[in-house]
């Protein structure tokens, strides 16, 4: 079957002009003689469009509330005087509307003529793309003349010779702003419709744009009339998308012209999983346009998803397989056939020499479900062991464990739409404004509508306070005290009888609740006691607990600040307890929502990437489950769990583990204790890295297989709301094979009989073997767009909200959450606590975003330090500082800010030069080995520059990236 | 002429005004008026402080400040003379009045004399149409302007 979407055309989404009305009452009206029925509150403009009648418009678009400023969308209504604007006039029962008449035509033409008079000459040909909405409206109203001349005040006059284009500057001319790397703002093209300003406010929630001045002088500006790059703008691009003229336009469109065809696909950055139209011209992506039917993003995006796709064509991409004998040798480019044969031979040799379990694989959270499934299948069926793990090990493995124990499923309980019904949002250890920006925009919108907010985070993040947003309670806890603070919240809920007894009796085990309640009620869990060790004001803890318990629908959103701790799993359970105790589970607006970091980290976990689990979170020791795969794959599966990543590295150092296939993960940079990872890799005999770039891990590789980007393959990603989204191939793989094809070649080379011709067949195999995916197929996804698992006979179209009528495991389980302080303590030598995080413009280890223009915003990692801590150490803004822990040291430059509390320092980990994980310790979560990235005792001192380790590392990396010139043909 | 205040001082004095007024309903315009009273103009350095204090964006504050011509971006002269240029006054000869004042003071609208004695501004209706052409000097209105009154005014602001 070949269902590769053929997409010869550009997908045009209908713009209804105003948002959908959610009213249930229906109203029927007549538009141009046609009877139309729509929900009450719908605008005439939208009703007409739903009936197929398009009314010309400039200031209206259905992503934004109606505004009524452009005066182009006027209509006539029988029995009413004048010509009301159809965007701001709601429909009425029996209303008779005319959208076309001589009077209306004359008015619209007159309005357009005035716009054109203050628009650059050549408005319909050379000034812009000629493809803007403005151009289309000018044409549709039949504008043929312009009696006012074209020498408007805000642009360059035709003749004269001093200004760009040999014109002269008119009185209100403002030069183009090219400061943003991705789009241009040309004020001369602006018609002051405010769509950009409103998009920035209503959709994105940043409020970076405004209309300056009044009358003829009014003009859109960023910030306080600043360059875009210097303003508050976060470059989400909503304004560019909203602009009906060429005033705000993607630079790629201006340079290369409008795209010609497009396909709907899914963003490959964070776990929000936004849907995009990948718009292409001549086999080049011109732009990524957020797709309005995308259930996660509803037509919005962030700077990464919309603009930062340049890595796909970056010169650093390796397009040929390479091999080398030793990691000190330069790379040698070889054919795919040779690379695959070499790898297969090496793996077989190692297994023969060192045993069946001496090799393993790592699946990628960046690759598709189908690719991930194949890698774990390769390990289990081909390597005949369970040595497979995934990068979720270092991020959300505690989520899987904690929610699995308490609720019975290893995933978030809600869809993102749920936030529209939330009354109290609790954000714990997450900064969605940076790491999950599109979700943050949706949450901010809800907060502006009046929802309350509690933030539990050591740092005063953008969510605590930014334009029109202010947390009702911020609990700036000391890193490492999550469990204590969450248990203190439970203490207040129990001792003040704020719990939901009816819910608990019905849904949970009452005896377990009582046991838990007696535990949390102990005095050592009181806010007063916990306040002392966490540094949070007890009254703030009490206030937050009362608000969450009694403030209406309470929803918890959390991130790696919860999981990457020695008590990560305990914290997840503490969160689950809070939601159960207050009855905040099983309906819209509530729930427990892990914000997953990577596009397919949920999917990679679902697909059996863990050494102890087959797809669908079924333990490898279960005979019935193994039977399913054994009969299908025709091999006997090992019933013992395999090695986790850290265990593989330990075993490598001990000499028992010699070969690894790593698909799309840079473990050297992302895993804890860099020196240990390097030691483990160096001890192996065949390290195969399958990636887009020579990443840091590839410094230790013997075989490099070039990877494919999400634009070059078909498949599916599963986002943080369990939503399975389609990924569609819009370009041919630059390195010949999509990743699933490369894995299949390797499988064949080691003797497996794999014959997939399309990823849809892999999904069919997943559906056939995994109950929670039983109903999923590409055909279904093509038809309905996306589904959230479980998707099977009981829920043929998927499950937006889980645990609706009861918990998956039966009764919800309350588990005691005793606070055990991490072994990582501050002391005289290491008095500060380091915690880590992300920034908006960069993504994870930065392999992709560092290879885009996004470096304009974040060229290096900085150490955030409180002014007090900086002063006593003699550190000034921008100084190089040495950051040392018990594990190692690195240097970076300081950024002095009171966002962090005294005693806490913070940095990001986007740049390999910084190597923040040289600092982090090898402490990890007690249940899942998830590393404790979020707490490290450190000292900070002024420094002159990079450490010896950084210099040595860079030299080693430089040496190991050499590629031998091809030998001249004989 | 009021000295341009140093930015740290602007920030602290602005913060004090915000603290005092942020509780009132619709606090932005009253705060801007107080700031203009305090400094004689609305310093650009005050805008981010206001934005932070009221949880607005810098852009929003700039949008409001730039909308109202009354808020100045730099200090005015010791006297501020506003001449009405709206319809009623125009019909009663305000153009000629403006020309004469400009000539006597040697400045155009939106300018301040080099000695800092007076700033001249147009205004669009003082609500004094019955006494057109009209003006406002340092907040006090003057009606039925004629040559004599104009010379009187110029003499006063020049002194």
Write out the DSSP string of B55-79. T--HHHHHHHHHH-TTS-SS---SE
Task: Average the pLDDT over A689-717 and give the result.
Answer: 94
Residues A578 and A444 in one domain: yes
> Which pLDDT does position A96 carry in this prediction?
96
Question: Which chain B positions have a beta carbon within 8 Å of A207's beta carbon?
Answer: 56-57, 59-60
Half-sphere exposure of residue A22: CA atoms within 13 angstroms, side-chain side:
1
Domain locations in chain B as residue ranges: 7-67, 79-158
Residues A384 and A478 in one domain: no
**Residue pair A573/A817 in contact by the 8 Å Cβ criterion:** yes
Contacts of B17 (CB under 8 A, 6+ apart): B31, B34, B35, B38
User: How far apart are alpha carbons A182 and A568 in whole angstroms?
Assistant: 39
Residues A503 and A409 in one domain: yes
Residues A564 and A618 in one domain: no
Packing angle of the helix pair A538-550, A527-534 (nearest 10 deg): 120
End residue of a domain, out of A103, A137, A155: A103
Which of B22, B46, B59, B110 has the most A C-beta neighbours within 10 Å, making it the best mutation to test the interface with A? B59
Do the bridges between strand A723-727 and strand A715-718 make them parallel or antiparallel, or are there none, so unpaired? Answer: antiparallel
**Please, which pLDDT band fits residue A268 given cuts at 50, 70 and 90?**
very high
Q: Which of A210, A469, A470 sits opposite B59 (nearest CB)?
A: A210
Residues A614 and A524 in one domain: no
End residue of a domain, out of A42, A68, A103: A103
Which of A215, A460, A467 has the most B C-beta neighbours within 10 Å, making it the best mutation to test the interface with B? A467
Q: Could A468 and B51 be called an inter-chain contact, meaning their C-beta atoms sit closer than 8 Å?
A: no
CA distance A465 to chain B (A): 7
Terminal alpha carbon distance of chain A: 44
**Residue pair A290/A306 in contact by the 8 Å Cβ criterion:** yes
Is A788 a member of any domain?
Answer: no
Is A970 a member of any domain?
Answer: no
Question: Which chain B positions have a beta carbon within 8 Å of A212's beta carbon?
Answer: 62-63, 66-67
- Strands across the sheet containing A786-788: A715-718, A723-727, A786-788
Is A892 a member of any domain?
Answer: yes
**CA nearest to A207 within chain B:** B57
Q: Could A224 and B61 be called an inter-chain contact, meaning their C-beta atoms sit closer than 8 Å?
A: yes
Which of A199, A202, A207, A227 has the most B C-beta neighbours within 10 Å, making it the best mutation to test the interface with B? A207
**Please, which pLDDT band fits residue A928 given cuts at 50, 70 and 90?**
confident
**Please, which pLDDT band fits residue A116 given cuts at 50, 70 and 90?**
confident
Residues A645 and A632 in one domain: yes
Residues A885 and A741 in one domain: no
Q: Give the model confidence (pLDDT) of B32-87 as tens digits.
A: 999 999 998 999 999 999 999 999 999 999 999 999 988 998 899 999 999 999 99
**Please, which pLDDT band fits residue A126 given cuts at 50, 70 and 90?**
very low
What percentage of chain A exceeds 70 in pLDDT?
95
Is A21 a member of any domain?
Answer: no
End residue of a domain, out of A757, A788, A815: A757
User: How far apart are alpha carbons B87 and B91 in whole angstroms?
Assistant: 6
Q: Give the model confidence (pLDDT) of A815-861 as tens digits.
A: 999 998 888 888 889 999 998 888 878 877 777 888 888 888 877 88
Q: Could A224 and B56 be called an inter-chain contact, meaning their C-beta atoms sit closer than 8 Å?
A: no
Q: Could A223 and B56 be called an inter-chain contact, meaning their C-beta atoms sit closer than 8 Å?
A: no
CA distance A210 to chain B (A): 5
What percentage of chain B exceeds 70 in pLDDT?
96
Structural domain count of chain A: 5
> Which pLDDT does position B21 carry in this prediction?
93
User: Dihedral of CA A847/A852/A854/A855: which sign?
Assistant: positive
- The CATH number assigned to the domain holding A199 equals 3.30.70.20
The tokens describing A140, both together, are 């549709």
Name every residue in B having a CB less than 8 A away from some CB of A: 44, 47-48, 51, 55-63, 66-67, 69
Do the bridges between strand A703-706 and strand A686-691 make them parallel or antiparallel, or are there none, so unpaired? Answer: parallel
User: How far apart are alpha carbons A125 and A131 in whole angstroms?
Assistant: 9
Write the ipTM. Answer: 0.88
**Residue pair A246/A212 in contact by the 8 Å Cβ criterion:** no
The tokens describing A391, both together, are 């990068």
Q: Give the model confidence (pLDDT) of B82-98 as tens digits.
A: 999 999 999 999 999 99
Q: Which of B44, B55, B57 sits opposite A470 (nearest CB)?
A: B55
> Which pLDDT does position A913 carry in this prediction?
74
Is A201 a member of any domain?
Answer: yes
Average pLDDT, chain A: 90
Residues A686 and A627 in one domain: yes
Query: In the 8-state DSSP scheme, what is residue A724?
Result: E
Q: Give the model confidence (pLDDT) of A231-249 as tens digits.
A: 999 999 999 999 998 899 9
Task: Average the pLDDT over A331-338 and give the result.
Answer: 95
Is A126 a member of any domain?
Answer: no
Residues A628 and A553 in one domain: no
Pick the CATH number of B79-158 from 3.40.30.10, 3.40.470.10, 3.40.50.620, 1.10.1200.10: 3.40.30.10
Domain of A230 in residue numbering reads as 173-258
> Which pLDDT does position A168 carry in this prediction?
57
Residues A383 and A444 in one domain: no
- The CATH number assigned to the domain holding A45 equals 3.10.20.740
What are the C-alpha distances in Å from B100 to residues A20, A451, A558, B94? 59, 60, 70, 10
Q: Could A207 and B67 be called an inter-chain contact, meaning their C-beta atoms sit closer than 8 Å?
A: no
* pTM assigned to the model: 0.91
Residues A573 and A651 in one domain: no
- The CATH number assigned to the domain holding A688 equals 3.40.50.740
Q: Could A466 and B61 be called an inter-chain contact, meaning their C-beta atoms sit closer than 8 Å?
A: no
Question: Which chain A positions have a beta carbon within 8 Å of B70's beta carbon?
Answer: none
User: How far apart are alpha carbons B96 and B90 in whole angstroms?
Assistant: 9
Contacts of A349 (CB under 8 A, 6+ apart): none
Residues A935 and A850 in one domain: yes
């Amino acid at each position: 079957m070949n269902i590769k979407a053929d997409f010869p055309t550009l997908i045009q989404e209908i713009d209804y002009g105003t948002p959908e009305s959610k009213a249930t009452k229906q109203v029927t009206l007549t538009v141009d003689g046609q009877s139309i029925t729509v929900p009450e509150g719908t605008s005439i403009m939208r009703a007409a469009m739903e009936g197929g009648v398009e009314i010309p418009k400039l200031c209206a678009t259905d992503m934004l509330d109606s505004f009524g400023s452009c005066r182009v969308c006027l209509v006539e209504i029988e029995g009413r005087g004048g010509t009301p604007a159809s965007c701001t006039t709601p429909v009425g029962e029996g209303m008779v509307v005319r959208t076309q008449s001589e009077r209306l035509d004359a008015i619209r033409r007159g309005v357009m003529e005035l716009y054109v008079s203050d628009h650059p000459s050549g408005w319909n040909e050379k000034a812009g793309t000629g493809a803007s909405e403005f151009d289309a409206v000018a044409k549709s109203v039949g504008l043929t003349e312009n009696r006012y001349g074209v020498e408007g005040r805000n642009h360059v006059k035709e003749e004269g010779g001093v200004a760009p284009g040999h014109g002269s500057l008119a009185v209100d001319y403002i030069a183009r702003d090219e400061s943003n790397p991705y789009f241009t703002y040309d004020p001369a093209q602006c018609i002051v419709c405010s769509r950009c300003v409103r998009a920035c406010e209503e959709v994105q929630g940043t409020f970076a744009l405004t209309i300056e001045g009044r009358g003829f002088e009014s003009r859109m500006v960023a910030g306080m009339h600043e360059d875009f790059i210097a303003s508050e703008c976060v470059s989400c691009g909503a304004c560019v998308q909203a602009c009906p003229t060429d005033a705000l336009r993607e630079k790629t469109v201006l340079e290369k012209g409008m795209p010609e065809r497009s396909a709907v696909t899914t963003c490959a950055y964070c776990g929000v999983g936004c849907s995009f139209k990948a718009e292409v011209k001549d086999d080049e992506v011109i732009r990524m346009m957020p797709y309005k039917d995308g259930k996660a993003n509803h037509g919005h995006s962030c700077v990464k998803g919309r603009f930062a796709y340049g890595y796909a064509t970056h010169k650093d991409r390796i397009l040929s397989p390479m091999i080398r004998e030793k990691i000190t040798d330069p790379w040698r480019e070889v054919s795919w056939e040779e690379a695959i044969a070499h790898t297969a031979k090496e793996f077989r040799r190692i297994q023969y020499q060192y045993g069946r379990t001496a090799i393993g694989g790592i699946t990628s959270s960046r690759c598709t479900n189908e690719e991930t499934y194949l890698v774990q299948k390769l390990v289990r069926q081909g390597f005949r062991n369970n040595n497979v793990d995934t990068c979720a090990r270092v991020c959300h493995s505690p989520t899987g464990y904690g929610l699995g124990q308490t609720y019975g499923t290893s995933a978030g309980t809600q869809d993102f739409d749920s936030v529209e019904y939330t009354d109290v949002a609790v954000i714990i250890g997450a900064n969605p404004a940076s790491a999950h920006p599109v979700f943050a925009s949706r949450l901010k919108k809800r907060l502006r509508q009046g929802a309350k907010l509690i933030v539990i985070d050591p740092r005063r993040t953008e969510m605590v306070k930014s334009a029109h947003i202010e947390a009702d309670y911020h609990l700036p806890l000391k890193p490492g005290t999550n469990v204590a603070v969450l248990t203190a919240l439970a203490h207040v809920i129990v001792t003040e009888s704020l719990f939901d007894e009816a819910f608990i009796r019905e849904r949970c085990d009452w005896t377990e609740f009582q046991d838990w309640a007696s535990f949390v009620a102990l005095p050592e869990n009181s806010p007063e006691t916990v306040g002392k060790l966490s540094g949070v004001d007890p009254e703030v803890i009490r206030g937050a607990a009362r608000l969450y318990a009694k403030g209406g629908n309470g929803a918890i959103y959390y991130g790696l600040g919860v999981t990457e701790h020695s008590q990560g799993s305990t914290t997840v359970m503490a969160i689950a307890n809070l939601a159960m105790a207050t009855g905040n589970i099983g309906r819209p607006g509530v729930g427990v929502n892990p914000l997953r970091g990577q596009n397919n980290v949920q999917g990679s976990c679902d697909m059996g990437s863990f050494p102890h689990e087959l797809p669908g979170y079924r333990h490898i020791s279960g005979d019935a489950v193994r039977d399913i795969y054994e009969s299908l794959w025709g091999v006997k599966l090992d019933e013992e769990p395999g090695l986790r990543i850290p265990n593989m590295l330990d075993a490598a150092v001990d000499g028992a583990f010699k070969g690894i296939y790593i698909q799309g993960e840079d473990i050297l940079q992302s895993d804890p204790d860099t020196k240990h990872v390097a030691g483990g890799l160096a001890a192996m005999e065949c390290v195969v890295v399958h990636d887009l770039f020579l990443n840091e891990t590839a410094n230790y590789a013997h075989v490099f297989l070039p990877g494919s980007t999400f634009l070059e393959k078909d498949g599916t990603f599963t986002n943080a709301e369990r939503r399975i989204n389609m990924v569609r191939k819009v370009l041919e793989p630059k390195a010949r094979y999509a990743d699933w094809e490369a894995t299949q070649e390797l499988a064949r080379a080691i003797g497996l009989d794999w014959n997939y011709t399309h990823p849809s067949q892999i999904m069919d195999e997943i559906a056939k073997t995994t109950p929670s995916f039983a109903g999923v197929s590409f055909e279904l996804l093509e038809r309905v767009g996306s589904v959230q698992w479980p998707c099977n006979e009981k829920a043929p179209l998927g499950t937006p909200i889980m645990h609706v009528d009861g918990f998956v495991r039966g009764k919800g389980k309350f588990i005691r959450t005793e606070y055990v302080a991490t072994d990582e303590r501050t002391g005289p030598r290491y008095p500060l606590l380091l915690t880590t995080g992300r920034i908006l413009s960069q993504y994870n280890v930065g392999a992709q975003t560092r290879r885009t223009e996004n470096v304009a915003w974040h060229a290096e990692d900085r150490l955030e330090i409180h002014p007090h801590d900086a002063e006593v150490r003699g550190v000034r803004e921008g100084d190089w500082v040495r950051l040392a822990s018990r594990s190692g040291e690195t240097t970076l430059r300081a950024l002095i800010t009171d966002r962090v509390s005294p005693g806490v320092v913070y940095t990001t980990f986007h740049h390999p030069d910084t190597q923040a994980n040289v600092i982090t310790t090898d402490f990890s979560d007690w249940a899942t080995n998830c590393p404790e990235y979020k707490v490290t005792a450190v000292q900070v001192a002024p420094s002159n520059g990079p450490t010896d380790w950084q210099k040595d590392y860079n030299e080693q990396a430089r040496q190991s990236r050499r590629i031998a010139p091809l030998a001249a043909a004989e | 002429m009021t000295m341009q205040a140093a930015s740290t001082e602007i920030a602290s004095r602005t913060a004090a005004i915000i603290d005092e007024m942020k509780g009132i309903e619709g606090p932005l315009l009253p705060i801007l008026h107080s700031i203009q009273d305090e400094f004689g103009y609305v310093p650009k350095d005050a805008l981010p402080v206001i934005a932070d204090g009221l949880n607005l964006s810098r852009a929003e504050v700039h949008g409001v400040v730039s909308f109202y011509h009354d808020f100045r971006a730099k200090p005015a002269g010791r006297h501020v003379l506003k001449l009405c240029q709206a319809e009623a006054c125009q019909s009663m000869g305000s153009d000629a009045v403006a020309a004469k004042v400009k000539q006597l003071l040697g400045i155009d609208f939106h300018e301040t004399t080099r000695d800092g004695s007076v700033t001249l501004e147009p205004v669009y209706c003082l609500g004094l149409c019955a006494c057109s052409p009209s003006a406002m000097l340092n907040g006090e209105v003057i009606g039925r302007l004629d040559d004599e009154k104009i010379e009187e005014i110029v003499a006063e602001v020049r002194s």
